[in-house]
Amino acid sequence: MNVIQNSTDIITVSELVKKFGDFTAVDNISFNVKKGEIFAFLGPNGAGKSTTIKMLTTLLHPTSGKIVLNSFDPARNKDGVRKSLGIVFQDPSLDDDLTALENMQFHAVCYGVPKDIRGSRIEELLQFVELWDRRNDLVKTFSGGMKRRLEIARGLLHHPTILFLDEPTLGLDPQTRNHMWSYVKDINQKEGMTVFFTTHYMEEADRVAERIAVIDHGKIVAMGTGSELKSRTNADTLEDAFLNLTGHKIREEEASSLDRMRRMGRLWAGRRR
């Protein structure tokens, strides 16, 4: 079922809420992403970035609120949404017991990449992430960075309309990081692919994204271009802007212990929340 959407928007989110028991992970957020835009969700760990991505990508049902994505509603037309998406998750989602090539082939079949272009496209992408020489090695022999690169290659394999990247550069060295962004930007410009990514690196959001939404404690506290955010808060750097907006720095330590607690909570609460 198609839903009416502003013609320049590819993602429209209004009053989105996700609760896990008493805890509100995403607290009434609204935003929109334009076609062909590179859009960043900036915030500390546990701010609700991944939860939002999970709802956008059909993995979680929202508690309330509305999402329209490429004119589909993820709650009602899951396959329509899924076909439009490429996703690189925050945690690894590769099969360690398969080779790099087999992981790519599996993905290509699931996303219906035509057989005749499957081989060449897989080669092109594996060459790009510099894993072509290791294509027949089991993924379990790969380093963390190599796995990350393979996942990025896999996410791009079916030329998605929207690419979701959840903390994509976590654990990548600066060189690979730059390399990855230049490739993503390249596809973004050539094919008009929309890119939605989350990060807690200020510098990355500032440099890569056209617009940034600053999210903290499940709420969007500000949204705009990097320079807009800086001028609005009279700050020289995005770092300072963030400090002014939220009253605290992006601190990983505090957030990650909160994350752990939440994970424990989820474990005890069981699967259906």
Does 141 bind other proteins (CB under 8 A)? Our answer is no
Shortest Å, Cβ 21 to other proteins: 15
Q: Is 9 helix (H, G, I), strand (E, B) or coil?
A: strand
Residue 168 CA to its chain's centroid (Å) = 7
Does 102 bind other proteins (CB under 8 A)? Our answer is yes
CA distances from 58 to 85, 207, 232 (A): 10, 29, 34
Does 100 bind other proteins (CB under 8 A)? Our answer is no
Shortest Å, Cβ 56 to other proteins: 11
Between residue 37 and residue 56, which ones bind other proteins under the rule CB under 8 A? 54
Specify the residue, 32 or 57, whose C-beta has the smaller distance to other proteins: 57
Specify the residue, 94 or 184, whose C-beta has the smaller distance to other proteins: 94
Does 270 bind other proteins (CB under 8 A)? Our answer is yes
Does 70 bind other proteins (CB under 8 A)? Our answer is no
**Residue among 20, 23, 106, 183 that touches other proteins (CB under 8 A):** 106
Does 267 bind other proteins (CB under 8 A)? Our answer is yes
Does 170 bind other proteins (CB under 8 A)? Our answer is no
- Rounded to whole angstroms, the Cα distance separating 66 from 44 reads 24
Q: Is 23 helix (H, G, I), strand (E, B) or coil?
A: strand
Which H or E run contains 202?
A: helix 202-208
- 99, 136 in Cβ contact below 8 A? yes
If one counts every other C-beta atom within 10 angstroms of the C-beta of residue 83, the result is 15
**Residue among 3, 59, 221, 255 that touches other proteins (CB under 8 A):** 59
**Residue among 12, 50, 58, 246 that touches other proteins (CB under 8 A):** 58
78: left (phi over 0), alpha (psi -120 to 50) or beta: alpha
Which residues make Cβ contacts (< 8 Å) with residue 161, sequence separation at least 6? 10, 70, 84, 85, 193, 194
Does 105 bind other proteins (CB under 8 A)? Our answer is yes
Does 272 bind other proteins (CB under 8 A)? Our answer is yes
Does 109 bind other proteins (CB under 8 A)? Our answer is yes
185: left (phi over 0), alpha (psi -120 to 50) or beta: alpha
Does 61 bind other proteins (CB under 8 A)? Our answer is yes
Residues that bind other proteins (CB under 8 A): 54, 57-61, 79, 82-83, 85, 87, 89, 91-98, 102, 105-107, 109-112, 138, 267, 270-272
